[in-house]
Amino acid sequence: MTHVLHRQINHTYPVAASAQGITIRDSTGKDYIDASGGAAVSCLGHSHPDIIAAMRAQLDKFEYAHTSFFTTEVAEELADDLASHAPEGLEHAFFVSGGSEAIEAALKLARQYFVERGEPQRRYLIARRQSYHGITLGALAVGGREWQRRAFAPLLIETHHVSPVYEYRERHADETPEGYGERLARELDIKVAELGGNNVMAFVAETVVGATMGAVPAVPGYFRQVREICDRHGILLILDEVMCGMGRTGTLHACEQEGVSPDILAIAKGLGGGYAPVGAMLLQDKIFKTIAEGSGAFQHSHTYTGHPLACAAALAVQRVMRRDNLLANVRKQGVYLARRLQDRFGNHPFVGNVRGRGLFQGVEMVADRGTKKPFDPQHKLHARIKREAMARGLMVYPMGGTVDGVQGDHVLLAPPFIVNEADVDAIVERLGDAVDAAVASIG
């Protein structure tokens, strides 16, 4: 009998007892390769001595000082560090304890910015279907997972959704990737016109879609057109890089590869690598200045905003990533992982598509490669794959509803940035066996 309200109440979880590098060991002594970094969190692997030492050093100084009384050296250093490596203009950081909090902060900052600019009529949010921005009410409202929103719909703020970029299924055969991106940009433009450009506050999108669709990048030019539409109407662009950011795709921020800079950038998971619950919202100087010269205070804070231990962990993670040149390894091993996945699944009868960037790769399952027909959702293929992978000592992040929130299954891979070729080989081999066993179990 457990007193913990677990995610799945009728499921028995193994007990994590220790962890080192890319491996977690349970209380029976069984090892699991962490090929998903949990949920794309553990970018440096587990129990990294340098991160633990930096956290200890902070604890030896002090543990906590409320931000309404003090700033701290470690929060200042982390903000300097993030600002100096961020896309142009993102010069300020607001610290939170995770991804949902970063999105909540972004939504409120966008609203306060327009109120203080004298544009209080701007109240509409546009986001995309098949997206995830977090589980709290504001983040859930912008998110596009219908099944997760349904029960809470009466509590959610009004948000309008447009199509995601989903080249594998939605680009027409006679369309170039660029042409497809233009069609999606037109759809956004039409939605803005429908709501009135002066009434829209922000467009929110994951730069690379993570858990909901399985590492789906945009097509070339799409985000540049989105940026242009936002600029034309004075709408803020909020990019959610909670999962795909902080090095996961091979550049520190995923938007660097799109050639755009958002007005607000949400980061979390890889920021602290799992060593502490930490996230951040980075914001453009123009937003900062509007509030600094207006009310002088962002009307939003948490008790644990800028917690010194969380900041110490995040700062150490960022420094180790640079010191050990891990982004180069993400790029190198990302190419290798994509190739090995293609080798194993490129001709697999039940895999329709392998996609992703860097160490962020997705494998989409289909019942029929020719028609791209998904498996019957009743089979819960994604849950079977997870079970078979765990049985083989492999952590991956499968999910259902890939296509439309109900149909489709995919597996998300997000291994730590420290993996080598032998690790990647072991991951792909175990995943291949798990996928075959899961499909066979359907019969």
- The footprint of ligand PLP (CB under 6 A) covers 39, 98-100, 103, 132-135, 206, 210-211, 240, 242-243, 268
State how far the Cα of 433 lies from the Cα of 443, in Å rounded to an integer. 16
According to DSSP, residue 190 is labeled H
For ligand PLP, give the closer residue by CB, 139 or 366: 139
Q: How far is the CB of 245 from ligand PLP (least distance, A)?
A: 9
For ligand PLP, give the closer residue by CB, 210 or 408: 210
Which residues share a beta bridge with 281?
94, 266
For ligand PLP, give the closer residue by CB, 210 or 214: 210
With CB atoms as reference, the residue minimizing the distance to ligand PLP is: 99
Q: How far is the CB of 133 from ligand PLP (least distance, A)?
A: 5
State how far the Cα of 76 lies from the Cα of 72, in Å rounded to an integer. 6
Residue 144, phi then psi, degrees to nearest 5: -120, 30
Q: How far is the CB of 60 from ligand PLP (least distance, A)?
A: 28
For ligand PLP, give the closer residue by CB, 124 or 132: 132
Angle at 14 between CA 419 and CA 409, to 5 degrees: 65
Q: How far is the CB of 129 from ligand PLP (least distance, A)?
A: 14
For ligand PLP, give the closer residue by CB, 206 or 388: 206
State how far the Cα of 378 lies from the Cα of 443, in Å rounded to an integer. 13
Question: Rounded to 10 degrees, what is the CA torsion of 34, 429, 389, 246?
Answer: 30
Q: Is residue 307 within 8 Å of residue 97, measured between CB atoms? A: yes
- How is residue 327 written in tokens? 């982004």
What is the arrangement of strands in the sheet containing 200-206, beginning at the earlier edge strand?
Answer: 90-96, 279-284, 264-267, 236-240, 200-206, 124-128, 159-162
Q: How far is the CB of 193 from ligand PLP (least distance, A)?
A: 28
- How is residue 154 written in tokens? 């009466």
For ligand PLP, give the closer residue by CB, 143 or 432: 143
State how far the Cα of 143 lies from the Cα of 156, in Å rounded to an integer. 10
Q: How far is the CB of 244 from ligand PLP (least distance, A)?
A: 7
Q: How far is the CB of 306 from ligand PLP (least distance, A)?
A: 17
Amino acid identity, residue 210? G
For ligand PLP, give the closer residue by CB, 399 or 428: 399
Helix, strand, coil % in the chain, rounded to nearest 5:
45, 20, 40
State how far the Cα of 276 lies from the Cα of 94, in Å rounded to an integer. 16
Nearest to 253 by CA among 302, 324, 321, 299: 321
For ligand PLP, give the closer residue by CB, 272 or 432: 272
For ligand PLP, give the closer residue by CB, 55 or 243: 243
Q: How far is the CB of 169 from ligand PLP (least distance, A)?
A: 20
Q: How far is the CB of 101 from ligand PLP (least distance, A)?
A: 7
